[in-house]
Structure 1
Amino acid sequence: MNSIDQQSPENHKKDLQGKEAVEKIRSLIDKAGSCFFVTQANFNASHRSRPMAVQKTDEAGHVWFLSAKDSVKNMELAQDKTVTLYFQGSSYSDFLELNGHAIVSADRAKIEELWDPTVKAWFTEGIDDPRISVIEFIPDTGYYWDNKHGNAVAGIKVLISAISGKTMDDSIEGNLIV
């Protein structure tokens, strides 16, 4: 049982900055694919949290979305650009919170780069739909909670913990500064 040892709490914390933080962000977003996009402004008593599909996460860790120009979300962003994104990639790991701000544009080249036929469900006129806008989310800080050895090992540890009654935590977590 040497490969599945109990870890001391001090081994569970690993803060990441710069390139390491961006790599962790990209990795966790790739696993999740979508997030809860939470705005801070409250436009006409709107609900400020909604699911959003990520179109791209770039080398700088910026997260890109397509959105309707006339959406409540875009109206909220016009009032306050502060945004928090919440991701969950699996049951045992791959949790990510990102805090930052959003920039909304109508950049045609970026719309064409980000376009995916599945978003036609929201933009019925296709890639030329005049309602399409681009949201670029720029993270400042974040927090992640993951596991050290992958989901298979984490699942085994949960099973062994349930049977043995011993804690076999495989988690690792930390702050992210982009």
Structure 2
Amino acid sequence: MADTDFQQRIWTELDAHPVCMVTTAVNGEIKTRPMSGHVERDNHRILFVTHRHTGAVDEVLRSPSISIAISHEDRNFYAAIACQSSEIEDRELLRRIWTPMASAWFPNGPDDPDATLLALTPISAEIWDAPSSSVLVAFKLATAKILGRTPDLGVNATIDMR
């Protein structure tokens, strides 16, 4: 199946700004944390290097549904992406995507036994995509007010990401 324009936009935004807010919900407790991911578009997933013994992996194993949020205010683009998650134990893949940033948390490098991969596979997404020009937004708001209409400030849609 070919990507829709909205699907492609989400992947492009994830590539450009891989830091996401990752939210888990386990036993009624919701936790959100910023995480820097590695986008693997060809494999339809985002990979995160994380500690095997921290909350994120434990939460994924207990409840594999996760949400990630991206926010690009300069482009007036926002997305909440529902994902399925899993832990991947693959040292070669971990070495391949290793970054200097990961070394800050794992001084022993990608062979650190506590380093693991969290894989998120997007299932669906709700997006908000509006004009990025504040002048255009102000014009649309003023025009709508004068005409007694609801302003057209872009797209809000839920899309299938599979």
Q: Which TM-score tier does this pair reach, normalised by the shorter chain?
A: 0.7 to 0.9
Match of 2:26 among 41, 45, 60: 41
Tell me if 1:120 matches 2:103.
yes
Whose strand proportion is higher, 1 or 2? Answer: 2
Cα distance in 1 for residues equivalent to 2:118 and 2:2? 22
Amino acid at match of 2:17: A
Asked if 2 retains the 8 angstrom alpha-carbon contact of 1:22 and 1:61, the reply is no
Instruction: Give a deviation string over 1:19-76, Cα, whole Å, max 9, x none.
Output: 125312212213432111111214xx96521111122242353111111101111111
Tell me if 1:172 matches 2:117.
no
2:15 maps to which residue?
Answer: 30
* 1:18-97 correspondence to structure 2 within 5 Å: 19-20=3-4, 21-42=6-27, 48-91=31-74, 93-97=76-80
Cα distance in 2 for residues equivalent to 1:134 and 1:33? 15
* TM-score, reference length from structure 1: 0.75
SS at match of 2:26: coil
- Quick one: higher RCO (CA 8 Å, sep 6+), 1 or 2? 1
Query: Mean alpha-carbon deviation: is it higher for 78-87 or for 28-37?
Result: 28-37
CA spacing shift, 1:75–1:114, aligned 2, 3 Å:
same
Q: 1:92 offset after TM fit, Å?
A: 5.1
Q: 1:132 offset after TM fit, Å?
A: 0.9
Give ranges in structure 2 of 5+ residues lacking alignment: 145-150
Cα distance in 2 for residues equivalent to 1:176 and 1:60? 19
Cα distance in 2 for residues equivalent to 1:142 and 1:174? 8
